[in-house]
Copies of this chain bind each other. A is one copy, B any other.
Amino acid sequence: MTLQGKTRRQALTEFREGEILEAARKVFCEHGFAAATVDMIAAEAGVAKGTLYLYYNSKDDIFWAALSSRLREMLERTKVAVSGAVGLEAKIRTVLKVRFEFFRADEQFVRMYITEFGHLCRTKNRPTHDLYVEAAGFLAGLLEEGMAAGEMRRLPPVETAMALMDMVKAVFAMKFSGVPGVAEGFDGEQFVFDLFWNGVRIRKEEPAHA
Contact = CB atoms under 8 A, between A and B. Distances in A.
Interface of A: 32-34, 114-122, 124, 129, 132-133, 136-137, 140, 155-160, 162-163, 166-167, 169-171, 173-174, 176-183, 186, 188, 191-192, 194-200, 203-205
A173 B205 contact: no
A188 B163 CA distance: 11
Contacts of A155: 191, 194-195
A117 to B, nearest CB: 6
Contacts of A122: 32, 115
A159 B186 contact: yes
Contact of A118 (B32, B158, B170, B205): B32
A186 B114 CA distance: 25
B137 A176 contact: no
B163 A182 contact: no
Contacts of A166: 166-167, 169-170, 173
B158 A181 contact: yes
A177 to B, nearest CB: 6
A195 B137 contact: no
Contacts of A167: 163, 166-167, 170
Contacts of A117: 114-115, 117-118, 173
A117 B174 CA distance: 12
A57 B136 CA distance: 42
A157 B173 contact: no
A115 B33 CA distance: 13
A130 to B, nearest CB: 10
A13 B174 CA distance: 37
Contacts of A197: 199
